[in-house]
Amino acid sequence: MEFVMTCTTAELMLLVGVCDYPGVAKGIGAATFGKRSEKEWKAILETAEHQLILKGIIDDEKAERGEEPISDEMKTFINRYVQSKWIIRGTDMPRKRALMFHHYEGDDWLAHIIYKDIIHEFYYVTFDEILDQIREYYSFSSGDSVPAEQFFLTEKAFDWLNEPKKVDKVKKKSEFTDEEKRSFEHFLEDLEAKNRYLYNLTTFHFPNGTDNLSPDLYMENVLYHMRDLFFFLPSQNGVWLVEYTPHPKTPVRIYLATVGEWIERAARFKEVIEV
């Protein structure tokens, strides 16, 4: 793992714009700052420029002479970030973070951690390091075994889990056994502890690149394919995993797994990525 840089969203937006990706820069700005007046955008970018000058990333003297204001290394980094055709994204809403990996060449990837949509950290990693990075980032824990807990839902009932008012409806509509009822109640306690957010790990393929893509995957007018997606939720001992089964009525299985089993499921991105 090799550290690249830390920057703010505004600084990243400015660097992407300097490297001639106006669509991406606009997407980054819109996703983070929303609609702003021309005067407000000017103030945001001027502040970002001053910070990048202080960091030595932008050479203001070269800029004044009309020369390229950033180094070749920085331009290469931005090109790799923008032109990635494979992205792995792990959500972390309870901590207002996201973990991403952008592929750029062969076995080489760019790791990207976003804090509260404001701070971005970038590292160069290899493909073989990604799974360890995912494990370390989430830092879930469990023993070698966990209690046998599971329950099954319809797809509609699974969607209702995001809405607190519909939890009773899920209970009424679901034909739980006594064991499944206890598992469901345990799952709800863990879900409430995370502000009702399920985590997910998703692998995206962008055949034509990501020239209009922002850090939180703002995908308007971008061709992409979702190649793998799975939901999970940490518990005090273990991780709840969500999987789809062929069952015609209740295909959504939610069960408590060990961290080792969660890692095995997370590793499936290796099976779908083709580089």
Give pLDDT tens digits for 175-214: 999 999 999 999 999 999 999 999 999 999 988 766 555 4
Share of the chain above pLDDT 90, in %: 75
CA separation for the pair 206, 225 (Å, rounded): 7
Q: Which phi and psi (to 5°) does residue 142 adopt?
A: -165, 165
CA dihedral of 42, 48, 53, 59, whole degrees rounded to 10:
-60
Q: Give the model's confidence band at 31: pLDDT under 50 very low, under 70 low, under 90 confident, else very high.
A: confident
Q: What is the pLDDT of residue 164?
A: 84
Cβ atoms of 13 and 28 within 8 Å: the answer is yes
Q: Pick 172 or 48 by higher pLDDT.
A: 48
What is the model's pTM?
Answer: 0.90
Question: What rounded mean pLDDT belongs to the chain?
Answer: 91
CA separation for the pair 29, 17 (Å, rounded): 11
Q: Which residue has the tokens 């940490």?
A: 234
Give pLDDT tens digits for 209-241: 665 554 444 444 455 688 899 999 999 999 999
Q: Pick 101 or 226 by higher pLDDT.
A: 101
Q: Is the pLDDT of residue 75 over 90?
A: yes
69 to each of 9, 64, 75, how far by Cα in Å? 19, 9, 10
Q: Is the pLDDT of residue 32 over 60?
A: yes
Residue 128 carries which DSSP code? G
Chain centre distance of CA 243: 19
Q: What is the pLDDT of residue 209?
A: 67
Which residues have CB under 8 Å from 33's CB, separation 6+? Answer: 9, 10, 44
pLDDT average, residue stretch 96-119: 96
Q: Give the model's confidence band at 142: pLDDT under 50 very low, under 70 low, under 90 confident, else very high.
A: confident
pLDDT average, residue stretch 251-267: 96
